[in-house]
Structures are given as structure tokens and as C-alpha cells.
């Protein structure tokens, strides 16, 4: 790799700004980079992108990788089928389309017709679909749009028969789906007060309200269903029970898994019945038989269990008890339930009756992941997709009577995957915890420590990393690379206890688990420190930053995407306050001590760091780009070695969702060229 000395990095102004946290003075010399709209910040971004392009464009394999990634990506893909009102729906991409297209069909395997093509909304493909909701009679579609990757959404309504949009426009929505009412003439949605122009990345998102929009009316006329100005951090998700009799409100607070459930008869305007009145556990509504509601919960069951609750009597019964495997998902169908569990981070399916008895296992195609599980409480028709590291997502129909899967559609991939294999191994963390890790490589991989390897992780917010196919990773494998995906504490692979073991005061466990996986790969001969790269995004970007600062000697290169790097100020921007449930807050003295100890920005020192590539989007209103800006500037300032520290800022891009295919390919080409150049 062409090495760029630290002196070649742009000169970035350092101020004398400081803050005092619980008696400790903390320098913040790049505080000015938090102003994304200033001319100085924009000049900083331009200079960083110029340096990054100088390095990456000079890499000999970069163009070859871009070309190969384009070839690999060019295959038809389809999401899961779902049914509503006798019609079937599916998202599809012919190969290189910027965005997936929504189809409507008359049968599950029908070729159907295009209902909504977001590729027609912008020339550069940066307008993407957010959420979708079909009315119960399948006459209307409510859909939300995102501009440039923003979390802000604008809702539109389309007539499904004619394919034309109605005049309705509903804006200022964020972190909300749409819940149609049985009349098919109105839907529920959540919205915030939109920040003033220029303050989208600096204002906190608080005081969400739940509204009802009636088709054909102006948004100003929408009915306010629920607000709690005394609880500005509460958010509200509104839905109607499938039988059309009850309004159900899920009350959430940040990213905490604990939530409230409120229910009342649909057309009443009186108080809600507080089925779950305290933020003590996670409750997910599965369905109802009249006044008997079913919930998937981790209340008194960290691995999850299924219970019933009678609205009128308050009686609760356990339907499916907690087991040794994480109960991840439950689908209520005619006569019973479909149970989706995780066993060592891979999917298992079974069908039980309404009493939770007579379990019938479903034979899946292999070690992989079930996704897009869909069906209705009064029907036996169930749809899903299945994917693994070496098999692209295929869509299936499940017969709940005999447990058989029928393939509805499978992709035709031109690449030959027969020469690769997947293993699952367990690393031992610092405290003795066994940490699972999937390892994908060529079948004849030589364990002599010379292979370039990429270790990917996340470790937070109860999110599980299960086997899934990402076509871009084939380019890495074809180049002789080894891929490792770690299932760290903080995730949800082993239930709520596993999650809590990697949050707040326990966050260091996540970084220890990741370094244990790095050491395991070297000890087993898959790679060695100089050939090992690490990668992660968002909370996984924090993981990369913390690992880089704590153990740079264990890695040969680092790639961090849209990372949370400033752990003392994250709560001050957009939705950052919502992460306090997982991280704690520097406003609290005890939390501050923990955060200060691992915050990537605040633990850099004068030393040699390995080659590092940081990526972000200038419109990221979830993890604001200032995290990456400040970390990159400080890392360039303290770098004592000759390895490049690069910042790649994508314009008209947000946190990642909805990014057009061409831009994704360009970024992947940069990442893999950077890693191969650094690790070989």
C-alpha cells in the first residue's frame, strides 16, 4: 500500500475548548467540527476526501474490485412475500437497480406487476423507501420516503388498483410505521417537530406524538391520538388488532428493550388499559383471541417465553416456557404459533398449537437465518426467506400442518460457491466466557497465519449477527481472504442476559470478546496480527474505535463505518439520547467514569496506529458525522507511524439505509482495496 506520512494529512485547526465533567477537565479541540454547515467544516471534509481519494485511487486492485463487485451484484434478488386482503406483495431488484421495487401479485409465485418503483423518484437513486403499510382490504398503500439517507420520512398514499398516488402528504415522521384502521380510510403514525433548517444534526428528537391521518384531508387536520409532554423521551407505535376491535399502543423509551403496552377498544376515547405499566421487560404483541392477548416477553425469562393475558380479568398464563435457546420471534397463525429460536446464533423453526403443545420442528435448508416471517392469525399461510453465508436469500412457503417448506423462488447466482465452507468456533474471552464466531473461507485454506482476514462485529442493543449472504463478501473470499463474524456480548444471540453482559458498566466485555476473537484467529493459524483487519458500523464503529485504541498491536488495519466515537457527547445530538439505555450517560458520574475509560476519541495517544479508514455520510442524522470527523482529526494528529488515517465522507448519504447500489459498490471497492493493500 502506498504509505502516506502523517504530515501529508490535512492540517486541521485545534482549539483550546475544554469541558468539565464531574470535576475532570476534558479537552475537545475539534468541537467546531460539530457544526456540519460551517464553511470550515465543509473545507475539512473536502480536504479529507481529497486525501482519501489520492490513496485509494492509487491502489492497483481498486478498479479490479469495483468491476468484480459490479459483476457479482448483477443478479436478481427478491425479499419475502407477504399477504394482505387477498393480494401478495414482494420487494425485488433486477440486479443493479439503485433501490428495490415493490410488486403486487395475485398468488405467492406470480410474476405480478410493479406497484411502486422508488428508482423513478430521483436521478441519483438517493430517494429511498422507508416503511410500507397495506390497508386490510389491499386497496391502499401507505409508504414513506427518505431523502439522502435521512431518518426523516414523508408519507404518501397510493391506490393499489390504479397505481396512482392520492394527494395526501404527511411529513415530519421519524422512527414510525403506519397502522391502518379497519375502515381503510385512515392510518396511525408518529411524528416530531422538525428542527429548524440547518439544525437537523444538532437538535435532539424529543416529544413524539401519535396521530391519525384521514385520507383526503390535510395533515394540519390530523387527529392527535396520544402525547406525553411530561415524558419527552417516550415514543408511540400505534396499531390495530387483526380482528379490528382494539387500538394497541407500544410505548418505547429510546433503544431500551423494556416497553409499555396500552390497549383500548378502537372507537373509544377513554383511558387505555395499561397491560404493561412499567419499563421492566420487553413485551411484543403477537395477536389476540378476543380479549385474550398473546405476548412474547423476556419478563422473568431472559431467553424469552410466550404468555397470554386476559384484558378483562388480568389473568396470565404461560403458553411456551423459556428454553435453553433464545425465542426470537413468534408468529400467530390459524390454530397455533410458529416459533423462531436461535441456537448458537442460527435459526430454528417449529410449530405448536394454541396451548403451546405438540411441537413440530421445521427442517431448514441448513445453518442459516430465517427472515421476513409473515402470516395472519386466522390463516395457515406462512411465508419466509432463508439465507446463510454461502446461500443468497430464497423465498419459501411453510405448510404449518406438516412443517414442510416449499421454495417459491431462489436466486440464480453466477459465482461458484462450492469451494468455500463455514465453520463455527468459540473463542475464550478474558473472563472465560465462550464467544461464538462464524468463519468463512476457501475450503482448502492453509492455516499458516498468512491469510488476510477480516473480523466483523457489533455487540450491542440486543442485535444478533446471524448467518446471512452479502454478495460483496465474495470479492473478499475470492481474493483469498478469510471472513470472521463474531457474536459478542451486548448482542441478542443468547437472550437478555447476554445483552446486559455487554451494556453500560459491562461494555468492556464487548471489546474483550472482540480481541479474544482476534487472538483466536491468530492462534488457530487463520491469520496473524499484521494480516488481520477489523470492521464494524454504528455501534460496531464504536467497537472498531475502542479496539484500535486499546489493542492496535492485534490488528493490521481498521475500518469503522458511521461509528459512535465521542462517548461523552453522543446524547446531545438527534436520537443519541436514546442510546443511554445501552451506554449510560456522561451526565451521570458513575457512567462518566466507564465511558471515559473506553471512549475512542478520548483514549487516543501519541503512538503508531495501523492503517485506518473511517466512513460516514454528511446527512447521517442518527450517528452524526461529527463523531467520525473529530476522531479522524485526532487520530491524524497523534499518529506516529507511517500508516495512513483516512476519512471517507459520502455526500447525500445518511446512516446507510437506502444507499443506492452504485454508491454501495463504490464504497465496498474502496474498503476491500484498502484492506487488501494493508494486509497482504
CATH number, residue 637: 3.40.50.1820
Answer yes or no: is 471 within a domain: yes
**Taking residues 411-428, what's their average pLDDT?**
95
| pLDDT score of 204 | 83
Distance, in Å, from the CA atom of 429 to the CA atom of 514, rounded to the nearest integer, reads: 8
**Taking residues 50-65, what's their average pLDDT?**
95
CA atoms within 13 A on the CB side of 635: 30
pLDDT band at 202 (very low <50, low <70, confident <90, very high): low
Report the sign of the C-alpha dihedral through residues 108, 109, 113, 116, in that order.
positive
Q: Has residue 157 got a pLDDT over 50?
A: yes
Answer yes or no: is 575 within a domain: yes
Q: Which residues contact 295 (CB under 8 A, 6 or more apart)?
A: 261, 283, 284, 285, 286, 306, 307, 308, 309
Q: Has residue 519 got a pLDDT over 60?
A: yes
pLDDT digits (tens, 9 = 90+) for 522-576: 999 999 999 999 999 999 999 999 999 999 999 999 999 999 999 999 999 999 9
Q: Has residue 7 got a pLDDT over 70?
A: no
pLDDT band at 90 (very low <50, low <70, confident <90, very high): very high
pLDDT digits (tens, 9 = 90+) for 247-277: 999 999 999 999 999 999 998 888 999 999 9
- Residue 514: all three cell numbers together: 472482540
Answer yes or no: is 119 within a domain: no
Of 445, 471, 485, whose CA–CA distance to 669 is shortest? Answer: 471
| pLDDT score of 674 | 97
Edge-to-edge, what's the strand order for the sheet holding 259-265? 234-240, 246-253, 259-265, 273-276
Mean pLDDT of the chain: 95
| Among 146-160, 462-476, 598-612, the least confident range | 146-160
| pLDDT score of 366 | 93
Answer yes or no: is 286 within a domain: no
| pLDDT score of 65 | 97
**Maximum distance among all Cα pairs of the chain, rounded to whole angstroms:** 72
**Taking residues 88-99, what's their average pLDDT?**
97
Q: Has residue 3 got a pLDDT over 70?
A: no
Q: Has residue 187 got a pLDDT over 80?
A: yes
pLDDT digits (tens, 9 = 90+) for 605-637: 999 999 999 999 988 889 999 999 999 999 999
Write down how long the chain is. 680
- Residue 297: all three cell numbers together: 416477553
Domain count, the chain: 1
| pLDDT score of 654 | 72
Distance, in Å, from the CA atom of 465 to the CA atom of 389, rounded to the nearest integer, reads: 11
**Taking residues 658-676, what's their average pLDDT?**
95
pTM score, two decimals? Answer: 0.95
Answer yes or no: is 3 within a domain: no
Of 98, 142, 141, whose CA–CA distance to 121 is shortest? Answer: 98
Q: Has residue 156 got a pLDDT over 60?
A: yes
Q: Has residue 195 got a pLDDT over 90?
A: no
Of 568, 548, 507, whose CA–CA distance to 26 is shortest? Answer: 568
Q: Which residues contact 357 (CB under 8 A, 6 or more apart)?
A: none
Give residue 564's domain range: 15-71+415-679
Distance, in Å, from the CA atom of 247 to the CA atom of 297, rounded to the nearest integer, reads: 20
**Taking residues 393-416, what's their average pLDDT?**
95
Answer yes or no: is 534 within a domain: yes
How big is the chain by its Cα radius of gyration, in Å? 25
**Taking residues 479-500, what's their average pLDDT?**
98
Q: Has residue 69 got a pLDDT over 90?
A: yes
Answer yes or no: is 350 within a domain: no
- Which residues carry out catalysis? 538, 620, 655
Answer yes or no: is 481 within a domain: yes
Contact by Cβ (8 Å): 485, 465: yes
| pLDDT score of 6 | 45
Cα distances (angstroms) measured from residue 277 to each of 238, 251, 261, 273, 551: 16, 10, 7, 9, 44
Amino acid at each position: 500500500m502506498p504509505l502516506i506520512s502523517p504530515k501529508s494529512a490535512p492540517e486541521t485547526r485545534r482549539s483550546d475548548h475544554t469541558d468539565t465533567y464531574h470535576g475532570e477537565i476534558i479537552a475537545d479541540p475539534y468541537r467546531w467540527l460539530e457544526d456540519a454547515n460551517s464553511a470550515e467544516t465543509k473545507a475539512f471534509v473536502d480536504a479529507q476526501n481529497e486525501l482519501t481519494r489520492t490513496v485509494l485511487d492509487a491502489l492497483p486492485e481498486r478498479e479490479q474490485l469495483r468491476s468484480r463487485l459490479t459483476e457479482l451484484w448483477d443478479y436478481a434478488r427478491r425479499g419475502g412475500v407477504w399477504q394482505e386482503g387477498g393480494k401478495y406483495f414482494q420487494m425485488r431488484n433486477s440486479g443493479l437497480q439503485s433501490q428495490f421495487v415493490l410488486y403486487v401479485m395475485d398468488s405467492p409465485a406470480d410474476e405480478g406487476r410493479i406497484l411502486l418503483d422508488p428508482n423513478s423518484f430521483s436521478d441519483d437513486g438517493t430517494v429511498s423507501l422507508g416503511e410500507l403499510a397495506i390497508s386490510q382490504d389491499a386497496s391502499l398503500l401507505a409508504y414513506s420516503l427518505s431523502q439522502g439517507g435521512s431518518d426523516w420520512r414523508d408519507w404518501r398514499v397510493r391506490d393499489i388498483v390504479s397505481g396512482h398516488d392520492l394527494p395526501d402528504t404527511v411529513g415530519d415522521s421519524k422512527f414510525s410505521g403506519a397502522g391502518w384502521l379497519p375502515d381503510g380510510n385512515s392510518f396511525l403514525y408518529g411524528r416530531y417537530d422538525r428542527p429548524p433548517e440547518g439544525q437537523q444534526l444538532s437538535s435532539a428528537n424529543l416529544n413524539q406524538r401519535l396521530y391519525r391521518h384521514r385520507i383526503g384531508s390535510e395533515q394540519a387536520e390530523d387527529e392527535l391520538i396520544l402525547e406525553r409532554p411530561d415524558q419527552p423521551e417516550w415514543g408511540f407505535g400505534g396499531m390495530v388488532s387483526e380482528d379490528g376491535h382494539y387500538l394497541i399502543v407500544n410505548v418505547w423509551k429510546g433503544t431500551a428493550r423494556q416497553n409499555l403496552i396500552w390497549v383500548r377498544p378502537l372507537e373509544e376515547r377513554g383511558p387505555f388499559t395499561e397491560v404493561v405499566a412499567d419499563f421492566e421487560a420487553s413485551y411484543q404483541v403477537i395477536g389476540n383471541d378476543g380479549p385474550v392477548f398473546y405476548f412474547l416477553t423476556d419478563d422473568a425469562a431472559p431467553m424469552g417465553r410466550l404468555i397470554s393475558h386476559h384484558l378483562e380479568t388480568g389473568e396470565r398464563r404461560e403458553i411456551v416456557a423459556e428454553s435453553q435457546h433464545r425465542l426470537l420471534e413468534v408468529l400467530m397463525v390459524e390454530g397455533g404459533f410458529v416459533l423462531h429460536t436461535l441456537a448458537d446464533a442460527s435459526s430454528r423453526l417449529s410449530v405448536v398449537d394454541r396451548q403451546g403443545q405438540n411441537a413440530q420442528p421445521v427442517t431448514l435448508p441448513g445453518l442459516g437465518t430465517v427472515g421476513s416471517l409473515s402470516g395472519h392469525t386466522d390463516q395457515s399461510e406462512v411465508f419466509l426467506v432463508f439465507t446463510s453465508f454461502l446461500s443468497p436469500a430464497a423465498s419459501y412457503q411453510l405448510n404449518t400442518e406438516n412443517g414442510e417448506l416449499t421454495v417459491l423462488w431462489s436466486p440464480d447466482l453466477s459465482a461458484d460457491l462450492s469451494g468455500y465452507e463455514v465453520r463455527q468456533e468459540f473463542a475464550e474471552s478474558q473472563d472465560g466466557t465462550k464467544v461464538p464466531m462464524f468463519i468463512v473461507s476457501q475450503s482448502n485454506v492453509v492455516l499458516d497465519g498468512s491469510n488476510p482476514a477480516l473480523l466483523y462485529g457489533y455487540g450491542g442493543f440486543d442485535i444478533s449477527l446471524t448467518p446471512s449472504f452479502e454478495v460483496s463478501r465474495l470479492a473478499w473470499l475470492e481474493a483469498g481472504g478469510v471472513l470472521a463474524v463474531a457474536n459478542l456480548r451486548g448482542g441478542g444471540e443468547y437472550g437478555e442476559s447476554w445483552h446486559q453482559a455487554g451494556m453500560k458498566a459491562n461494555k468492556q466485555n464487548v471489546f474483550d470478546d472482540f480481541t479474544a476473537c482476534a487472538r483466536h484467529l491468530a492462534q488457530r493459524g487463520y491469520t496473524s496480527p499484521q494480516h488481520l483487519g477489523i470492521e464494524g458500523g454504528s455501534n460496531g464503529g464504536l467497537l472498531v474505535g475502542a479496539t484500535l485504541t486499546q489493542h492496535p498491536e492485534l490488528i493490521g488495519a481498521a475500518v469503522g463505518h458511521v461509528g459512535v466515537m465521542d462517548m461523552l457527547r453522543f446524547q446531545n445530538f438527534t436520537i443519541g439520547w436514546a442510546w443511554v439505555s445501552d451506554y449510560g450517560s456522561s451526565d451521570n458520574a458513575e457512567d462518566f467514569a466507564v465511558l471515559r475509560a473506553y471512549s475512542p476519541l478520548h483514549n487516543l495517544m501519541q503512538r503508531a496506529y495501523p492503517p485506518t479508514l473511517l466512513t460516514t455520510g454528511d446527512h447521517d442524522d442518527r450517528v452524526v458525522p461529527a463523531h467520525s470527523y473529530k476522531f479522524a482529526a485526532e487520530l491524524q494528529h497523534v499518529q506516529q507511524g507511517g500508516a495512513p488515517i483516512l476519512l471517507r465522507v459520502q455526500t447525500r448519504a445518511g446512516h446507510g439505509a437506502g444507499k443506492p447500489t452504485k454508491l454501495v459498490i463504490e464504497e465496498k471497492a474502496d474498503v476491500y482495496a484498502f484492506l487488501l493493500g494493508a494486509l497482504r
